[in-house]
Structure 1
Amino acid sequence: MRHSVDRRQFLAAAGGASAMARIGGGGLAGILASAQAPAYAQGTTIHWLRWNDFVPASDQLLRREIAQECQRALGIRLNVETVNANDIQARVTSAVQSGSGPDIFNVLNNWPQLYAQSAADVSDIAEEVAAAQGGFYEVAKAVAHDGRRWLAVPFSIVGNTFAYRKSWFEEVGYAEFPRTWEQFRDAGQKLKAKGRPLGQTLGQTFGDAPTFTYPLMWSFGGKEVEADGRTVVLNSPETVESVRFMTRLWRDACDEGGLAWDDSNNNRAFLSGTISATLNGASIYIESMRRPQSYLTDRGTPMKDDIRHGVMPAGPAGSFHFHLPFSNMMPAYSRNQDATRRFLRWIHSKDVFERWFVTQRGFSVGATTVWEQHPIWNEDPVMLPYRNAARVGRVPGYAGTSNAKAAEIVTKYVITNMYARAVQGIAPEQAVREAHAEVARIYAG
Structure 2
Amino acid sequence: MARVTRRQFLNASGTGALAAKTAGMAGILALGKAPAYAQTSSIHWLKWNDFVPAGDQILRQSMLAEAEKALGFKVNMETIGLNDLQPRATAAIQAGSGADIIMIFDNKAQLYADSVADVSAVCEALGSAQGGYYDLAKANTHDGKKWIAVPYCIIGAMVAYRKSWFDEIGVTKFPETWEEFRDAGKKLKVKGRPMGQTLGHTVGDAPAFAYPYLWSWGGREVEEDGKTVKLNTKETIESVKFLTALWKDALDEGGLAWDDSNNNRAFLSGTISATLNGASIYIEALRKPDQYKTDKGAQLKTDILHAPLPKGPAGQFGVHPFQCMMVMKYSKNQQQAMEFLKWFHSAEVYGKWFNVQKGFATGPTKQWENHEMWQEDPVMAPYRVAPRLGRVYGYAGPAGQKAAEVLSKYIIVDMYAKAVQGMPAEEAVKWADGEVRKVYG
Report if TM-score (shorter chain) is over 0.5.
Answer: yes
1:148 to 145, 148, 165: 145
C-alpha separation between the residues in 2 aligned to 1:196 and 1:168?
A: 8
Aligned residue among 54, 63, 68 for 1:71:
68
CA offsets per residue over residues 55-86 of structure 1, 9 Å max, x none? 00110111221110011100110111100000
CA distance in 2, matches of 1:441, 1:99: 28
Equivalence for 1:91: 88
The runs of 5 or more residues in structure 1 that have no matched partner are 1-33
Match of 1:240 among 237, 251, 255: 237
Aligned counterpart in structure 1 of residue 340 of structure 2, from 340, 343, 355: 343
Choose the corresponding residue for 1:190, options 183, 187, 195. 187
Could you say which residue in structure 1 is the equivalent of 2:170?
Answer: 173
Alignment of 1:347-358 (within 5 A): 347-358=344-355
Q: Deviations over 1:312-341 (max 9, x none)?
A: 100001110000111111011100112112
1:28-177 pair list within 5 angstroms: 39-41=36-38, 44-177=41-174
Matches within 5 A, 1:194-213: 194-213=191-210
- What is the one-letter code of the residue matched to 1:401? P
Residues of 1 paired with 2:230 and 2:248: CA distance?
27
Name the CA distance, whole Å, in 2 between partners of 1:71 and 1:195. 52
CA distance in 1: counterparts of 2:314 and 2:291, whole angstroms: 41
Alpha carbons 1:37, 1:75 under 8 Å: kept: no
C-alpha distance in structure 1 between counterparts of 2:219 and 2:348, whole Å: 42
Given that residues 320 and 390 in structure 2 are in contact (C-alpha distance below 8 angstroms), is that contact kept between their aligned partners in structure 1?
Answer: yes
**Matching residue's letter, 1:275:** I
Q: Paired residues, what number? A: 411
* AA at the equivalent of 2:370: Q
**Residue 35 of structure 1: CA displacement?**
11
- Deviation digits for residues 172-191 of structure 1 (CA, Å, limit 9, x no counterpart): 11111110011000000000
Measured in 2, the distance between the counterparts of 1:105 and 1:35 equals 34
Contact 1:37 1:72 (C-alpha < 8 Å) held by counterparts:
no
Q: 2:291 pairs with 289, 294, 299, which one?
A: 294
- State the alpha-carbon separation in 2 of the partners of residues 35 and 364 from structure 1: 40
Structure-2 change in CA distance of 1:35 and 1:302 (3 Å)? farther
Q: What is the rounded CA distance, in whole Å, between the counterparts of 2:377 and 2:236 in structure 1?
A: 38
Unaligned runs of 5+ in 2: 1-30
Alignment partners' CA distance in 1, 2:201 and 2:225? 28
Runs of 4+ more than 2 Å apart = 34-38
Once residues 34 and 192 of structure 2 are traced to their aligned partners in structure 1, the CA distance between those partners, rounded to angstroms, is 60
Q: 341-350 vs 298-307, which deviates more?
A: 341-350
Structure-2 separation of matches of 1:428 and 1:360: 40
Q: From the superposition, tell whether residues 38 and 261 of structure 1 become closer, same or farther in structure 2 (CA, over 3 Å).
A: farther
Letter in 2 for 1:369: K
Give, in angstroms, the shift of residue 418 of structure 1: 0.3
In structure 1, what is the equivalent of residue 331 of structure 2? 334
How far the C-alpha of 1:36 sits from its partner, in A, is 8.0
Distance in 1 (alpha carbons) for counterparts of 2:118 and 2:248 = 48
C-alpha distance 36-302 of structure 1, shift in aligned 2 (>3 A) = farther
- 1:296 alignment partner AA: K
Distance 1:272 1:257 in 2: 15
Alignment match, 1:303: 300
Q: CA deviation at 1:42?
A: 7.4
Q: Secondary structure at the match of 1:372?
A: helix
Match of 1:252 in 2: 249
- What secondary structure is seen at the aligned counterpart in 2 of 1:209? helix
Deviation at 1:37, TM superposition (A): 8.6
Indicate whether 1:265 and 2:262 are aligned: yes
Contact 1:205 1:262 in 2 (8 A): yes
Residue 284 (structure 1) aligned to one of 258, 270, 281 = 281
Superposed CA RMSD in Å reads 1.2
SS of residue matched to 2:160: strand
Taking structure 1 as the reference length, what is the TM-score of the superposition? 0.91
